[in-house]
Chain A
């Protein structure tokens, strides 16, 4: 069996941050005695990704998934532990041969020159990555056609819609045909049909070229549509690794009863969670009978947790004690 294309072994990374006291006296105090604190963004994470895999990284805001991408792409160095790509490449060294083999799209960071047409940035990338002109022209024509942005190639970036910009960012990340593609929130600001177009395109690319794709997203549709395997990160720790169906079957063991009442309950029984004044949820496995007076119930609906519900439950859990 071939060795994994990405190998993370007990990686840790901490940020140093500052806490500021409020008010004028706090500001005056901070001027001379700034209080530093360390935030563990990635804690003892081990992960392996095989060539041609699509891995989804899931986590709430600040969970550590983007930091993990930064460790894998070499933007940040691991404090302890080991991160290696292509068997022997340490990302933080940023060897040109390594950078030539990865493509990165950070949705909130733009590669595009704001005042110039996207084509000018792409021509610059052609020179940076030493792409032969014929190959560049053919590949660019294919990418722009697939993502439906050919007419916008000569339009200054500042005049493009958010969705068109995101598509050109994706093209920038793909223009040199990387072996590993890192996508951080690739569908922010993209309409539903364009999202579907991007999913189809990335799947086709993965199938045709065996390109490894690492994807982070808040949009569970992205993950469900693309990822063959997911890793869930919470408070800097990996809490699950497996398939999306595995994630659902592992955590969706609890059927939920959704109860709608004709008015707010004066007393909310134990095991009943209030969603809004007339909408309640009950864990169906905890109770043998409904703890709500049947005369007040308008409807009862039973559902199993979906990925969104599972993640909401997982992300709302307290930070694990160290």
Chain B
């Protein structure tokens, strides 16, 4: 129940600044439009009706979905945790009989609820995911859940570098670039040469590219299983990293600023 209240508070915080939410969505929409026009221009000037088997209308749909996913899979926990450590406000969190990571997960979930609602609606109504039988639907749902958990653990593990770095803001453009390039936010990774096909199993691609293809009905059951296995593997790696760095980091934490 305490975690559910955390989730509710996070959602209310997101909705508290309506203007902020609207501007965030507007900025994302403009970015998506720019990317779409760029790709339509590529199609027009190349004179080809498809690129790597992807037609223009599929590309437009892909770019819209992957950008909604980028809103869900945000790197915000990194900067939130950095703020807590730099201001010393982590002390307040540490004084509560609560698991910080579980609380942080529910906070992460609460902040993403408006975008998860959009993705969920699109999956349930437009996407063929849940019209391909129980096994496929269940596998797809599991892939979404595991990937979401994996990505949260990844950004949380990255956030712990705050214990040793004073500022983590230089990471923001790096993470944006990683999601743009490795996550398939700027282009589907399938357009890359076959030598780079292994890139689709990196954590950013699992969260962006693979979940977009899932929603568009482009993944077979076998591909869903492979992506799920990779997501679980990354989950184990990030959990180990998290455990290791937390125990070291918390001993170097000084709770600055009285």
Contacts and interface: CB of A to CB of B under 8 A. Distances in A.
A15 B96 CA distance: 24
B91 A75 contact: yes
Interface in B87-110: 87-89, 91-92, 94-98
B2 interface: yes
B202 to A, nearest CB: 32
B91 A116 contact: no
B97 A99 contact: yes
A109 interface: yes
Nearest to A117: B12
A106 B92 contact: yes
B17 A76 contact: no
Contacts of A120: 9, 12
Nearest to A121: B9
Contacts of A74: 94-95
Interface string B214-258: 000000000000000000000000000000000000010111011
A1 B204 CA distance: 62
A75 B97 contact: no
B89 A109 contact: yes
Which among B89, B253, B254 has the greatest number of chain A C-beta atoms within 10 A?
A: B254
Contact of A75 (B9, B13, B17, B94): B94
Contacts of B17: 115
A124 B11 CA distance: 14
Chain A interface, >50% SS class: mixed
A108 B258 contact: yes
Interface in B1-26: 1-2, 4-6, 9, 12-13, 16-17
B251 A106 contact: no
B251 A113 contact: no
Nearest to A17: B254
A109 B88 CA distance: 7
> How many residues of B sit at the interface, in one of the four size bands?
20 to 34
Nearest to B12: A116
A126 to B, nearest CB: 8
Nearest to B4: A127
Nearest to A104: B95
A183 B92 CA distance: 13
Contacts of A156: 16
A127 B1 contact: yes
A140 to B, nearest CB: 15
Contacts of B251: 77
B98 A128 contact: yes
A129 interface: yes
A116 B92 contact: no
B252 to A, nearest CB: 8
Contacts of B1: 127
Nearest to B2: A127
A94 interface: yes
A76 B255 contact: yes
A109 B97 contact: no
Nearest to A108: B258
A129 B9 contact: no
Contacts of B2: 124, 127-128
A110 interface: yes
B12 A70 contact: no
Interface in A94-133: 94, 96-97, 99-100, 102, 104, 106-111, 113, 115-116, 120-121, 123-125, 127-129
A75 B255 contact: yes
Contacts of B89: 109-110
Nearest to A98: B97
A185 B1 CA distance: 33
Which among A73, A102, A109, A184 has the greatest number of chain B C-beta atoms within 10 A?
A: A109
B108 to A, nearest CB: 15
A106 B90 CA distance: 11
A128 B103 CA distance: 10
Contacts of B16: 115-116, 156
Contacts of B94: 74-75, 94
Interface string A191-214: 000000000000000000000000
B201 to A, nearest CB: 37
B96 to A, nearest CB: 6
B258 A106 contact: yes
Given A109-B89, A115-B17, A128-B2, A73 B95 contact: yes
A66 interface: yes
Contacts of B253: 75-76
Contacts of B92: 104, 106, 109-111
Nearest to A128: B2
Contacts of B255: 70, 75-76
Given A70-B91, A99-B97, A124-B2, A116 B13 contact: yes
* A-B pairs with lowest CB-CB distance, top 9: A127-B2, A96-B97, A99-B97, A115-B16, A66-B258, A75-B255, A104-B95, A128-B2, A124-B5
7 contacts: A74-B94, A75-B94, A104-B92, A108-B257, A108-B258, A109-B88, A127-B1
Interface of B: 1-2, 4-6, 9, 12-13, 16-17, 87-89, 91-92, 94-98, 251, 253-255, 257-258
